[in-house]
């Protein structure tokens, strides 16, 4: 397939999906819709202001890279883990194990993953770079940004659905990128690769926290007040800490090869939520509220852990860095638009 043909297919699909999705917006109620959008923007703005504060602190050198690394480690291993454990301990597996939800997200994400892969292959980049670019196109900052922000904007009931999105990202697509990169280097799929993937999942504190929380809930054990207060206070540091860490980490990034980074940001901020919305609204029977949360989660900018992977394997880290920088900046507007729209779905 030629590049022009690919563009026509993508733009045609995009136009079809947008025409169907915009039916939900009644022109007669456009002023009300615009007011609602402004309200959502003002609600999301403080989150991005904290990111901006972190960026300023990092850019001026007041918050050096070593401090950012330690803050990120604190949030990742302690604060965010405590928040996820506390929320999941108050859920049951039956509350969130919805196969239609999982299949809808998998279908849409795999579709966008395929588009990004096809475009990368047309540019004749190697398999390792293809895998990293496809990862940028579909893996959003669900852990650091999505969990705290969507909990506040869409209610704590959103957390369970956000955790399912996070789990699918980590287990399915996080494993896939490692398999593709290491497999292409070794020339085959070995037990060592699968062991690396498995150990990575077992050591991931977000996965461990969710599993421990659901296990605690399944045992029907009450959380003692001192422990509940402990995880509540510690988890409370996750929101400001994660947002500040995102901003501070962006300070060391630069926008190189912006045309590629812009395309990957477009995939993540526009194509991903559009195809997720199509799956939720037309292909699978998903609860309206759960579907709205899924669409909102899919609209988040490129995740920082994609850069960590790219840096670890030495595969296009500057390209990923640019994608994170551009998508996070643009998300100030795009995420507000998506959340404002999905609020009409439930």
pLDDT in tens, 145-182: 888 889 888 988 898 899 899 989 988 898 888 888 88
Q: Are 259 and 326 in contact (CB under 8 A)?
A: no
Q: How confident is the model at residue 197 (pLDDT cuts 50, 70, 90)?
A: confident
Parse the chain into domains and list their residue ranges: 44-342
Q: List, in order, residues 6 or more apart from 249 with CB less than 8 Å away.
A: 54, 58, 68, 72, 304
pLDDT at 133 over 90: yes
Percentage of the chain modeled with pLDDT above 90: 33
Q: Give the pLDDT confidence score for residue 211 in this predicted structure.
A: 87
What is the model's pLDDT at position 5? 52
SS3 label, residue 302: strand
Look at residue 299 in the predicted model and tell me its pLDDT.
96
d(C-alpha 306, C-alpha 249), whole Å? 13
First to last CA, the chain: 40
User: How far from chain centre, in Å, is Cα 213?
Assistant: 21
Answer with the residue of higher pLDDT: 5 or 306. Answer: 306
Cα–Cα–Cα angle for 198, 85, 236, rounded to 5 degrees: 125
The answer, yes or no, to whether residue 14 has pLDDT greater than 70, is no
Kindly report, residue by residue over 214-272, the tens digit of the pLDDT. 888 888 888 888 988 999 999 889 889 888 988 888 887 766 667 899 999 999 999 99
Q: How far apart are CA 279 and CA 149, in angstroms?
A: 23
DSSP 8-state secondary structure symbol assigned to residue 272: H
Q: Is the pLDDT of residue 44 over 50?
A: yes
pLDDT of amino acid 188? 61
Question: Do you know the residue count of the chain?
Answer: 346
* pLDDT for position 169: 92
The per-residue pLDDT for 32 is 62
Tens-digit pLDDT profile for residues 81-92? 898 898 888 887
Q: Give the model's confidence band at 17: pLDDT under 50 very low, under 70 low, under 90 confident, else very high.
A: very low
Q: Kindly report, residue by residue over 285-305, the tens digit of the pLDDT.
A: 999 999 999 999 999 999 888
Extract the tokens encoding 47: 């989150």
Domain 44-342 fold is: Na+/H+ antiporter like fold (1.20.1530)
Percentages (nearest 5) of helix, strand, coil residues in the chain: 85, 0, 15
**pLDDT tens profile 332-344:** 889 988 998 898 8
Look at 27-31, 132-136, 173-177, 282-286 and tell me which has the smallest mean pLDDT. 27-31
- The stretch 32-56 carries a mean pLDDT of 82
The pTM of the full predicted model, rounded to 2 decimals, is 0.82
**Residue 76 reports pLDDT greater than 50:** yes
Rounded to the nearest integer, the mean pLDDT of the chain is 84
60 φ/ψ angles, rounded to the nearest 5 degrees = -80, -10
């Amino acid at each position: 397939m030629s590049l022009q043909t690919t563009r026509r297919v993508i733009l045609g699909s995009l136009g079809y999906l947008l025409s169907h999705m915009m039916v939900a917006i009644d022109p007669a109620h456009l002023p009300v819709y615009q007011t609602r959008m402004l309200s959502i923007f003002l609600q999301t703005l403080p989150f991005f202001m904290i990111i901006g504060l972190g960026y300023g602190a990092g850019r001026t050198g007041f918050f050096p890279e070593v401090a950012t690394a330690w803050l990120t480690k604190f949030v990742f291993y302690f604060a965010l883990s405590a928040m996820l454990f506390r929320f999941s301990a108050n859920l049951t597996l039956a509350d969130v194990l919805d196969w239609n939800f999982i299949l809808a997200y998998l279908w849409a994400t795999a579709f966008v993953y395929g588009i990004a892969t096809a475009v990368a292959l047309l540019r004749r980049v190697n398999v390792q770079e293809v895998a990293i670019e496809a990862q940028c196109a579909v893996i959003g900052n669900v852990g650091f940004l999505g969990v705290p922000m969507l909990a506040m904007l869409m209610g704590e009931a959103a957390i369970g659905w956000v955790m399912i999105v996070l789990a699918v990202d980590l287990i399915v697509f996080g494993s896939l990128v490692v398999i593709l990169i290491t497999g292409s280097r070794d020339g085959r799929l070995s037990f060592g690769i699968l062991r690396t993937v498995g150990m990575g999942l077992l050591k991931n504190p977000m996965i461990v926290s969710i599993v421990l929380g659901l296990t605690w809930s399944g045992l029907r054990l009450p959380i003692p007040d001192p422990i509940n207060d402990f995880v509540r206070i510690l988890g409370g540091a996750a929101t400001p800490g994660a947002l500040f860490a995102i901003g501070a980490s962006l300070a060391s990034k630069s926008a190189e090869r912006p045309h590629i980074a812009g395309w990957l940001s477009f995939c993540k901020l526009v194509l991903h939520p559009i195809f997720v919305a199509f799956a939720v609204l037309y292909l699978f029977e998903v609860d309206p509220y759960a579907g709205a949360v899924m669409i909102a989660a899919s609209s988040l900018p490129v995740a920082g852990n994609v850069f960590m992977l790219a840096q670890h394997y030495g595969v296009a880290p500057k390209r990923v860095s640019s994608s994170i920088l551009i998508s996070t900046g643009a998300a100030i507007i795009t995420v507000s638009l998506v959340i404002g729209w999905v609020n009409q779905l439930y």
